[in-house]
Structure 1
Amino acid sequence: MKNRKGLVAVATAVTLSFALAACGGRGGATEESGTAPVDGAESGASAAAGGEGTKIGIALPKKTSQNWVEAEEMFKADCAEAKLDCTIQFADGGAAEQQNQVAAMIENGVQVLIIGAVDGSQLGTQLAQAKAANIKVIAYDRMLTNTEDVDYYIAYDNFGVGQLQGEALLNGLKEKKGDKDKWTIELIAGSPDDANSLKFFDGAMDVLKPKIDDGTLTIGSGQAEFTQVSTQNWDPKNVQSRMDTILNSTYPGDEVMDGVLSPNDTLGRAAITSVEQAGKPLPVVTGQDSEDESVTWVVQEKQYSTIYKDTRALVANAVKLAIAVASGDDNPELEGVTVNETEYESTEGHPVVAYLLTPQIVTSENAAEVYANDEHRAGLVAEAQK
């Protein structure tokens, strides 16, 4: 895994305007999607020249977080604007259901598949069928693995997300627990069947491990490996149960954990709930996805940080990419999106062209600025600041 601090360094207020200029943030509500592009930003329709009638299959995973629910509505809106023939399905029944859904999309003659996988390693047969049918495959948000039959990957820079989370945890410890020079933390990782989970974890450990090695940070439970701290199905109940056990076994009496590395907001809130119920001081907790409750908690300083990955931007660029490749452009350019052709592999030795958007860290100090072009979240910030 290569160090990507160059991307992390760009994650400032300039980053947000950069991403929004490319594709628009969440704005005022529309009847169909509940969202609208920021004024002056491109919508899916603006990139749709020649795309009318293009058949696109959009396979999404389980509705495990707010951003996936939002993505569905945004795909609907952008497909309608661009007059595309889109089939959009969730696989709440798991990997087997998604296999059947993708197979049906292929049978129905889609020209492009956009796949947010339940388990990216379990679609090899279906992707081989897509390849044979000359259907372009775009891995959306999560890499598809154990196959060479992937053409493109579009996501936020997930290793960079992890680095931002690691940096936020260190900054939060200094800011909130500054009466110490050494801190005790715990680690949480995402689901092992989600290819992004290890990216998040490795990015965070790229920042945290030197501080663990020099003694600045101690992992109280000793659970430091991805296999020990991963969370099956991203289920917050699993995190809360694990944190309850760790608190009982590792933090008796007046012992406290100073910080928790959490890969997303849902799991971060589960950790916070566990600590609250134990009657202990709140640790510094990271997150991701800017979920509504966590936006409020961040502003109120109950959760230290989250990550803003504008789903509108990701969806809009995924639709533009699909339109372009369906029309025969094998190397399309997306304004404001970084292209990496070497570092993301679907299987060893098979790099996939990756289109990467840049994430942004959010704390109570910059929340109003970060969400200024996101009407819904800006409203949450204003309400929480009252």
Structure 2
Amino acid sequence: MRTRRAALGIITGASLALALSACGEQSAAGSGSESEGGTIGIAMPTKSSERWLTDGESLVKDLGAKGYETTLVYGDDDPQAQITQIADLVQQRVDVLIIAAIDNKSLTGVLQQAADADIPVISYDRLILGSGNVDYYVSFDNEQVGRQQARHIIDRLGLEKGKGPFTLELFAGSPDDNNTRYFYEGAMYLLQPYLDSGQLVVRSGEIKLEKITTLRWDGTTAEARMKRILSTSYNGRTVDAVLSPYDGISRGVLSALKSYGYGSDGKDLPVVTGQDAELASVKSIIAGEQSQTVYKDLRELATVTANMADDILKGRTPRINNRRSYQNGVKAVPAYLLQPASVDKSNYASVLAGYYTADELG
């Protein structure tokens, strides 16, 4: 009897052209056919971020609607704890693993255990590196996230109209998250010409990716770094914009800025970007503090992932729209990418309609 992983190899090989040609059509998964059932293991990175709670809840809901049982675990930002959790899911003989990695290079050994147990793996939002045992990747177009953040800064400062020079400081995500590089490269693609021309000036001199990362995307870490930059590089000068890749980092940056008098005494807060449309940051945007965030509909991400798991287990070709771009160091992982949306004070009500209620937004 052919194993699931052997069948999966046939799907991702001989049938891949069919998947690409049909990527604009609705997947057959979730169309009302009766599920055979089974158990899906879901490994999320942390409960400390609002978005991962939403991801976990949405996946459980969508998979349950298809007749699957789920086992959802959170790794509390501890890579070794996540490895142990995934190993336990393998021992439980789950039918599919959905993994949002804490450290994208730490899972090679445990994914070999999954392969040996014939368990397919979907890399969720964060691409797992260094392993050939990653079958699919589901995420958003992460370079586009960075470009939307950069575009907001360019528009708000009037850089295309020749205004400037302005000061800018750069923040990036966790160094062990592959998405960090995509966000940074997307943003710098648009910002670099203005840095080269002198319209944008990074007074701290911290521009290269390895100088601006924020371990575990931690807001407190970002706040401490912003305070250091303000104390060493901005005596008597003003920060005009901060590229922040994530709302938790943005809130940390804003806290540091406020402690230095920004937002009071006629000293305006700089343009500060963000990502994930977390409720606290959307409220901050409404209040005129954080300037922008990038909304990624996590419900849609969960739905695509649930459909993919269902397709895998029923021997159907999962829907993908990117075959070659996501190289994990061992293989190009077939991917499905969703599109993000930029949110600011002018459009939050329309873009986030149905995601937050009026009462939640205050």
TM-score (norm 1): 0.82
1:340 to 302, 322, 340: 322
2:18 aligned residue: none
Q: Name the structure 1 match of 2:281.
A: 294
Asked if 1:261 corresponds to 2:225, the answer is no
AA partner of residue 88 (structure 1):
L
Q: Contact 2:204–2:233 at 8 Å: present in 1 too?
A: yes
Is the counterpart of residue 118 in structure 1 residue 102 in structure 2? Answer: yes
Change in Cα spacing, 1:206 to 1:64, as seen in structure 2 (3 Å) is farther
Matched, 1:196 2:182: no
Letter of the aligned partner of 1:332 in structure 2? Answer: P
- Matched residue type, 1:262: S
Question: In 1, Cα distance between the equivalents of 2:113 and 2:340?
Answer: 34
Match of 1:236 among 198, 219, 225: 219
Matched residue count: 333
Local SS of the residue matching 2:321: strand
Is 1:352 the counterpart of 2:333 in the alignment? yes
The residue that corresponds to 1:4 in the other structure is none
Q: 1:93 to 1:200 in 2, by over 3 A?
A: closer
Aligned partner of residue 347 in structure 1, secondary structure: coil
Work out whether 1:273 is the aligned partner of 2:238.
no
Change (3 A) 1:48 1:134: farther
Query: Hey, what's the Cα distance between the residues in 1 that align with 2:287 and 2:157?
Result: 17
CA drift of 1:80 comes to 2.4
Q: Contact 1:184–1:219 at 8 Å: present in 2 too?
A: yes
When residues 22 and 168 of structure 1 are mapped into structure 2, their CA distance, relative to the original with a 3 A threshold, is farther
| Percent of residue pairs bearing the same amino acid type | 36
Tell me what 1:215 maps to: 198
Q: Distance in 1 between matches of 2:35 and 2:70?
A: 12
Stretches of structure 2 that go unaligned for 5 or more consecutive residues are 1-24, 263-267
Measure how far apart 1:172 and its partner are.
2.0
**Kept after mapping to 2: 8 A contact 1:304/1:364:** yes
Segments of structure 1 that go 5 or more residues without pairing to the other structure are 1-20, 24-41
**Distance (whole Å) between structure 2 residues aligned to residue 198 and residue 93 of structure 1:** 19
Secondary structure, in 3 states, of the residue corresponding to 1:74?
helix
DSSP 3-state at the match of 2:151: helix
Aligned to 2:168: 185
Contact kept, 8 Å, 2:163 with 2:199, in 1: the verdict is no
**1:309, 1:153 → 2: CA distance?**
16
Q: Is residue 77–residue 216 contact of structure 2 (8 Å, CA) maintained in 1?
A: no
Deviations 1:54-111 (A, max 9, x none): 2211111122311101112222222322220211100116111111111111111112
Deviation at 1:378, TM superposition (A): 4.7
Structure 2 residue aligned with 1:156: 140
Separation (CA, whole Å) in 2 of partners of 1:230 and 1:194: 10
Q: Which secondary structure state, in structure 2, belongs to the residue aligned with residue 339 of structure 1?
A: coil
Deviates more, 1:148-157 or 1:80-89: 80-89
